[in-house]
Amino acid sequence: MLRIISQTTPDLLQATAAVRGFKRLDPKRLAADGADDHRLAINENDEIVAHCSLWWRETPTMPGHRVGLIGHYAAHHAEAGALLLDDACAELCAREADMVIGPMDGSTWRRYRFITERGDEPPFFLEPDNCDEWPEQFRAAGFESLAEYTSALGANLEIDDEATGKWERKARDAGVSIRTLDADNFDSELKHLYCAVAESFERNFLYTPIREAEFVAQYRQVEPFVRPELVLLAEREGRLVGFIFGVPDMAQAQRGDTMDTFIVKTLGVVPSVRGLGLGNLLVARCQANARELGFKRVIHALMIDANVSRNISSHYARTIRRYTLYSRKLAR
């Protein structure tokens, strides 16, 4: 017999055993993610067989809906997942949500969506993973696809010199210059990047603001792996107006493979300079720098299908992975 326990603090979740080989939830991450509740499915032996967290106070905006979130999700088996998801939806409904979105750990700045088409390529650095059964558990609980995402692999870092020259001229005529990251002043650079990221992404699907301290803390985690040549900053009159943040695929090194791939983690352009082809230029410049460093491949990571970055990527890369974010409407 399964039962559900509610925890308003993450203490009990911190003690959860790994689910099918996945790492147990990090206590610091749990506290930082600021969930409003944690739910645990317990079996007759008092073992945790599924868990998730809920958010209803500070959630993304969806026109015409009050959104609740389910994140930190894991389940040993379908029965536990079904009971947990139904209980979570009932609780969010009681909290006046009429749409539940998941998996999402509080916002799109944190971990969200499931891999739903794995493909043949191995996991890459910073890529979230999940059990293949978990998407089906969401679908069985009445969730449907809300948004689709892809990662794409480019096996050729050659660039179109004619097109790149056109974008270079447009940027120069508009007073935009491009430089590499100043790695000696990493935190200062992140604070400049924070402002440009917020302005570039504020109209993105399910966008919520992020505090500067949390943004800096997230990016500081990858500082040991950063190559300045793969992080390009576009500036006009001393103001950051575009950026591309690339990192080597450290997962290759961890597997003992030759590290010949880098990842485009983030790409953005502020609204005031859109239309110049600046995003295309940043990708081309970044790939040219990567080739000079000896990289042979690029992964454009975790792009929502409707985003302009997906269009840019299609010129260079083929889809290797698909991800889905789910939603379920609640009857009030």
Taking 80 as the threshold, does the pLDDT of residue 314 lie above it? no
Taking 60 as the threshold, does the pLDDT of residue 18 lie above it? no
All domains of the chain in start order, with CATH: 3-148+325-329 (3.40.630.30), 157-315 (3.40.630.30)
DSSP, collapsed to helix, strand or coil, labels residue 311 as helix
User: 109 falls in which pLDDT band (50, 70, 90)?
Assistant: very high
Match 């239309």 to its residue by tokens. Answer: 275
Nearest to 321 by CA among 121, 140, 172: 121
Mean pLDDT (whole number) for 63-76: 95
Kindly state the tokens that stand for 179.
């430089």
User: 9 falls in which pLDDT band (50, 70, 90)?
Assistant: confident
Buried b (16+ CB within 10 A) or exposed e, 150-181: bbbbbeebebeeeebeebbebbeeeebebeeb
Where residue 126 falls (left for φ over 0; alpha for ψ -120 to 50; beta otherwise) is left
The C-alpha atoms of residue 201 and residue 26 are separated, in whole angstroms, by 27
More confident residue, 316 or 19: 316
DSSP, collapsed to helix, strand or coil, labels residue 182 as coil
* Predicted local confidence at residue 239, as pLDDT: 94
User: 288 falls in which pLDDT band (50, 70, 90)?
Assistant: very high
Mean pLDDT (whole number) for 305-315: 65
Mean pLDDT (whole number) for 9-20: 62
Global pTM? 0.93
Residue type, 91: E
| Mean pLDDT of the residues in the chain | 92
Q: What is the pLDDT of residues 250-273, one digit of tens each?
A: 999 999 999 999 999 999 999 999
* Predicted local confidence at residue 160, as pLDDT: 86
Please state which of the ranges 30-39, 111-120, 178-187, 310-319 shows the lowest mean pLDDT: 310-319
* Predicted local confidence at residue 8, as pLDDT: 78
